[in-house]
């Protein structure tokens, strides 16, 4: 199976690239974020990198691999799958997660700075990391052929894809290969694919089926990305890309681990969950009306999660409906607890309790949730420094998530404006992706030819939601990061 990735617009003009980099620096100043760390944090990280706390358990025998985007250095996860020798058709999943606590001591400069940042911010080639690169991209990262401390999850799964046992403990591990998504997909499709990747596909498909059965939701919309390429040609470009199947299978292993972590914490009545409230019934009714307006049949017997799975994002009217359905997934957050399980512990899009534990190099919360699970599996008390921090983590993560969203949106807006600045007045084919609830002459258009989604205005009546349109670029301002189209 091939990716639907298509490169649409790019630049290798040194002046344009310099303007984009300067614009990103302005965004960082506006949001008060920086990729640089104070000297004392860098020095503390360097000392920690030189002397990690390595556990006694040695599992470097496991042929783990990482699967990440090209060029990634902050590698949180490495996996290996095998058949369960005690259960026909079952699986044993080994999932190694970078052990940040092997390097970071509560209250040290790296820890305090991580609490200030909350999570890694991503934008083009200007990442604002949670931890200094000497840790996140080197000593603590699960880079190939390096012995690393890790939290090693061992999850047994039955022949239907249901998890039946979970354990996590500290171990030394060594990844044997760093694969890109494209490389992993090619290996899965090859006749001589290693058993671990063959089983990843088998388990991933089973888990996707279970997700559908329990009423989980995923929106298969192509993602808009800013790509910065070191090769000659168009080193800065925008593109829409859809996930490869291996990315979905890989994500299912991460979700499986998060479900296991949540079950441990809910049973013990202590921990940190990732939550999402059920959608507002008014939003579901609004989605029904949008489907009727778009001419998309919604059978009465289909609940909205099942209906969304029937939509094809390649069809304009379906893509518009998927964009509209994002309203159903608002309000995600975290909830900490110690002694009583929260009243609303579920993540409604996953139809289960769930915890973030698989990205501690990039998210602060994962380090703490992982520590809770390690203690519970060892039948030991949760460390005091974890319990002390738990109550404040939901607010810290909410603040940093808002900042991460603002940073990503601002960088994408900047690159859109920079790459289109010389094309004002040109006409393009697009699709009306959404309309303004208060004024249906305003909305947003997806212009795949240039990899852009931007505001659209009509002076001649309502915008035709979900339909192909011809639009004219009227504004592309790098300083304000504004791109606008009007109906041609």
Q: What is the DSSP letter of 139?
A: I
pLDDT of residue 238: 74
Q: Provide the mean pLDDT of the chain.
A: 91
pLDDT of residue 8: 36
pLDDT band, residue 99 (cuts 50/70/90): very high
163-182 burial code (b ≥16 CB/10 A, e <16): beebbbbbbbbbbebbbbbe
Residue pair 172/59 in contact (Cβ under 8 Å)? The answer is yes
Question: Quick check: 5 pLDDT over 60?
Answer: no
pLDDT of residue 232: 58
Q: Which of 296, 256, 215, 255 is nearest to 466 (CA)?
A: 296
Question: Quick check: 9 pLDDT over 60?
Answer: no
pLDDT band, residue 195 (cuts 50/70/90): very high
Of these ranges, 106-115, 242-251, 282-291, 316-325, the one predicted with the greatest mean pLDDT is: 106-115
| H-helix or E-strand spanning residue 282 | helix 281-294
pLDDT of residue 234: 58
- pLDDT per position as a tens digit, 391-424: 999 999 999 999 999 999 899 899 889 889 889 9
pLDDT band, residue 371 (cuts 50/70/90): very high
Sequence-ordered alpha helix ranges (H) in 326-477? 364-377, 384-389, 393-420
- Average the pLDDT over each of 211-215, 238-242, 268-272 and give the range with the smallest value: 238-242
CA distance 252 to 260: 12
Residue pair 484/457 in contact (Cβ under 8 Å)? The answer is yes
Say which residue, 470 or 295, is predicted with more confidence: 470
Mean pLDDT of 20-41: 94
Residue pair 223/126 in contact (Cβ under 8 Å)? The answer is no
Q: What is the DSSP letter of 276?
A: B
Mean pLDDT of 443-452: 84
Tally of residues, the chain: 488
Beta bridge mates, 180 = 68
Say which residue, 150 or 124, is predicted with more confidence: 150
Three-point CA angle 386, 389, 390, nearest 5°: 85
Say which residue, 234 or 274, is predicted with more confidence: 274
pLDDT of residue 1: 25
pLDDT band, residue 249 (cuts 50/70/90): very high
pLDDT band, residue 369 (cuts 50/70/90): very high
CA distance 128 to 123: 8
Question: Quick check: 12 pLDDT over 60?
Answer: no
Beta bridge mates, 288 = none
């Amino acid at each position: 199976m091939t990716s639907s990735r298509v490169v649409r617009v790019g630049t290798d003009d040194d002046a344009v690239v310099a303007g984009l980099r300067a614009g990103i620096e302005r965004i960082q100043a506006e949001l008060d974020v920086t990729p640089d760390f104070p000297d004392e944090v860098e020095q503390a990280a360097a000392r920690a990198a030189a002397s990690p706390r390595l556990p006694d358990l040695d599992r470097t025998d496991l042929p783990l691999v990482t699967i990440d985007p090209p060029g990634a250095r902050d590698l949180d996860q490495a996996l290996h799958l095998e058949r369960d020798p005690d259960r026909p058709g079952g699986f044993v999943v080994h999932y190694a997660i970078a052990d940040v606590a092997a390097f970071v001591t509560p209250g040290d400069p790296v820890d305090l700075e991580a609490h200030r940042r909350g999570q890694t911010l991503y934008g083009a080639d200007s990442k604002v990391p949670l931890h200094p690169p000497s840790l996140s991209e080197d000593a603590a990262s699960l880079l190939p052929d390096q012995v690393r401390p890790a939290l090693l999850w061992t999850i047994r799964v039955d022949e239907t894809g249901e998890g039946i046992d979970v354990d996590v403990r500290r171990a030394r591990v060594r990844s044997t290969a760093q694969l890109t998504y494209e490389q992993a997909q090619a290996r899965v499709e090859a006749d001589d694919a290693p058993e671990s990747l063959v089983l990843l596909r088998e388990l991933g498909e089973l888990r996707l089926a279970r997700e559908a059965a329990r009423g989980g939701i995923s929106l298969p919309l192509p993602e808009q990305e800013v790509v910065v390429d070191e090769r000659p040609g168009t080193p800065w470009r925008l593109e829409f890309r859809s996930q490869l199947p291996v990315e979905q299978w890989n994500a299912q292993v991460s979700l499986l681990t998060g479900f296991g972590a949540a079950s441990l914490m809910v049973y013990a009545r202590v921990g940190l969950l990732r939550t999402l409230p059920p959608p507002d019934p008014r939003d579901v009714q609004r989605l029904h009306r949008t489907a009727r307006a778009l001419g998309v049949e919604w059978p009465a017997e289909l609940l909205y999660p099942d209906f969304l799975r029937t939509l094809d994002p390649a069809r304009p009217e379906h893509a518009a409906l998927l964009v509209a359905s994002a309203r159903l997934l608002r309000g995600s957050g975290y909830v900490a607890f110690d002694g009583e399980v929260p009243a609303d512990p579920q993540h409604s899009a996953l139809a289960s309790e769930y915890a973030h534990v698989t990205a501690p190099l990039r998210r602060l919360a994962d380090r703490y949730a992982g520590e809770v699970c390690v203690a519970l599996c060892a039948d030991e008390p949760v460390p005091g420094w974890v319990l002390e921090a738990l109550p404040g983590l939901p607010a810290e993560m909410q603040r940093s998530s808002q900042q991460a969203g603002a940073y990503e949106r601002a960088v994408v807006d900047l690159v859109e404006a920079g790459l289109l600045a010389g094309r004002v007045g040109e006409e393009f084919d697009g699709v009306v992706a959404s309309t303004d609830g208060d004024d249906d002459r305003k909305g947003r258009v997806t212009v795949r030819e240039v990899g852009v989604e931007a505001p659209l205005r009509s002076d001649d009546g309502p915008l035709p939601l979900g339909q192909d349109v011809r639009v004219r670029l009227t504004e592309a301002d790098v300083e304000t990061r504004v791109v606008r189209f009007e109906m041609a």
